[in-house]
Chains A and B, each alone.
Chain A
Amino acid sequence: MFECNDIRKSFGGIDVLEGVNLTLKPGDRIGLSGGNGSGKSTLINIATGFVAADSGGISLDGKSYHRLPPWRVARLGIRRTFQSVRMQPSAPLGEQLYDKNTDAQTRADMLQDSGVNAYLDRFPAQAPAPVLRKAEVVRALLAKPRLLFLDEPSAGLDAAELEKLGVFLNRWAQGALILVIVEHRRDLMDMTVRQQFELRRGRLVGITAGA
């Protein structure tokens, strides 16, 4: 169970988040949209420990992790991807797509399914951007997180690739994993999530699917 309780954050006098409340149960998959500067990324940064909220509580399974450093938050099983892809530039992708939490067979299947397979021997600089986007998602999923934030995973993907990413997520982001997809486009979310929210004036507003 992931809970945000009245999260507030302002930067230089501008209120970005004005009391965000969110409760997610294991298995929940939600989409989070909102215009530029509406605070989507800030919310991810707070939820993953990179930015401290001015006030409010944040907890996983009833344990508050407010003000823990990001690496400790990550060890709680909370993972994220980045708006601009971050991979280790001086190691081949195959080396980076490994996690002791996932057995070899599952890993092989996941790599096969994601379409990253052909690039395992390449360094990030030699792989196309869409592949890196997917590699980032695969890296996060291999860690078997309990809570996963995808920060604009569809950026730079064309319609066909987006479709494939959606199918991939539907297949692998399963079980008790709580998935939060942050996007300003709706297409990927319509495919994968069950509930959609929008950040408006610093608050979360639920929107019905397909609206």
Chain B
Amino acid sequence: MSIYLASVLTNMALLSFLALSAYLVLIVGEVSFGQQAFFGIGAYIAATVTAIFHGSLITALLAACVTGALAALLLGLLTVRLSGLYFSIATLSFAELYRLSLLQLRFPVEVNGRKSGPDGPEGFENIRWAFENNLDVHDFLLLASLCLLVLLGVFLWLERTQFMKNARLAGKDGILAQSLGIRPDFYRLLFISASGALAGFGGGLFAHFNSYIEPAMFGIMLGVHSLAYAIIGGLGTPLGPLLGVALDIGILESIRALSQYRMIVFGGLVALLLIFRPEGILGPQTVHRLKAWMRRRDV
């Protein structure tokens, strides 16, 4: 496999974490424009753990997960009264606030004669864990895909549980959920926190794959994309967001003729899908029909 292909695939896997985190928030009925902040928090925390404190990648990813979850929990608690567009704008301003604060965060450190640590707009250089441990692009692809596969397994198992059905109901109709003994704010906070953990984990991997991160990477563009992946793909199955990623990166970015106009095509595509397939490509009804079709074929 060429290095180019491997790095495109790795990027797809990393974006999938972000897309799945947006998916989690959508399930509990909210639209987040701010998942890129948790991705960024995970990236900076994980980079700090390995590059400055010489921790292992596992520690770094754990720290990224926990910090992402805590930040998301905080955001969830602060916005507990908000819903709909007010929640969305709050997440957007939270994410921009985080990005702008990163620009002011300057703690450059010297590690083995190289500059590292967060340095405002100049970014965080020399995150060399992968290099020092002889992980090349292919190893990284393997690592990222394995993590993603495990995660998908967990998601697919969860989809069959009453727990997930309750969460979906809480997101669709909070009043009905309450009348059935389901507590909507519990699911809301839990899923928002989990989305922070996922995005943080993805960000941690991203920092080590890229070996360099800067605040501009965690801007609104990233947020639009992660949300759009989940919406294009559909909310019927966790495979939906992955389909969204595959469509965007796999088709739009790899066709050279299109790549220059990628955002123009992509933005229009999202708007059109919202009109003609508001539940996404793999919406609940489609997934239900596909499952029935597969069962019939088995028999």
| A positions within 8 Å CB-CB of B | 48-50, 69-72, 74-75, 79-80, 82, 86-92, 95, 100, 121, 123, 139, 143
Q: Pick the contact of A80: B165, B173, B179, B279 (CB < 8 A).
A: B179
**Cβ contacts A to B, 15 pairs, < 8 Å:** A70-B178, A74-B178, A82-B176, A86-B175, A86-B179, A88-B173, A90-B279, A90-B283, A91-B169, A91-B284, A95-B165, A100-B162, A123-B284, A123-B285, A143-B180
Indicate if B172 sits at the interface (CB-CB under 8 A): yes
**Interface pair A123/B288, CB less than 8 Å apart:** yes
Indicate if B258 sits at the interface (CB-CB under 8 A): no
- Which positions 29-77 of chain B face chain A at CB distance < 8 Å? none
B-chain residues with CB within 8 Å of residue A75 when the two chains form the complex: 181
Distance (Å) between the CB of A139 and the closest chain B CB?
8
**Interface pair A48/B181, CB less than 8 Å apart:** no
- Which positions 183-200 of chain B face chain A at CB distance < 8 Å? 183-184
Main SS class of interface, B:
helix
The total of interchain contacts (Cβ-Cβ below 8 angstroms) comes to 62
Q: Pick the contact of A48: B162, B173, B179, B292 (CB < 8 A).
A: B179
Q: Pick the contact of A91: B165, B177, B182 (CB < 8 A).
A: B165
Q: Pick the contact of A86: B176, B284, B288 (CB < 8 A).
A: B176
Q: Pick the contact of B182: A71, A80, A87 (CB < 8 A).
A: A71
Nearest 9 interchain pairs by C-beta: A74-B181, A90-B284, A70-B178, A86-B176, A71-B178, A75-B181, A71-B183, A88-B169, A71-B181
B-chain residues with CB within 8 Å of residue A121 when the two chains form the complex: 292
Distance in angstroms between the alpha carbons of A203 and B183 in the assembled complex: 32
Q: Given A71-B180, A86-B179, list of 12 further CB < 8 A pairs?
A: A49-B178, A70-B175, A71-B177, A71-B183, A74-B180, A79-B179, A82-B176, A91-B169, A92-B288, A95-B165, A139-B180, A143-B180
Distance in angstroms between the alpha carbons of A69 and B283 in the assembled complex: 32
Nearest-CB residue, chain B, relative to A80: B179
Main SS class of interface, A:
loop
**Interface pair B179/A70, CB less than 8 Å apart:** yes
Distance in angstroms between the alpha carbons of A89 and B162 in the assembled complex: 16
Distance in angstroms between the alpha carbons of A100 and B161 in the assembled complex: 12
**Interface pair B178/A69, CB less than 8 Å apart:** yes
Distance (Å) between the CB of A25 and the closest chain B CB?
24
Distance in angstroms between the alpha carbons of A48 and B177 in the assembled complex: 13
Distance (Å) between the CB of A204 and the closest chain B CB?
23
Distance in angstroms between the alpha carbons of A69 and B179 in the assembled complex: 10
Distance (Å) between the CB of A123 and the closest chain B CB?
6
**Interface pair A74/B172, CB less than 8 Å apart:** no
**Known contacts A71-B182, A123-B285; A90/B173 CB under 8 A:** no
Distance in angstroms between the alpha carbons of A167 and B168 in the assembled complex: 33
B-chain residues with CB within 8 Å of residue A71 when the two chains form the complex: 177-178, 180-184
Distance in angstroms between the alpha carbons of A139 and B179 in the assembled complex: 11
Distance in angstroms between the alpha carbons of A114 and B179 in the assembled complex: 22
**Known contacts A86-B173, A123-B285, A123-B288; A91/B168 CB under 8 A:** yes
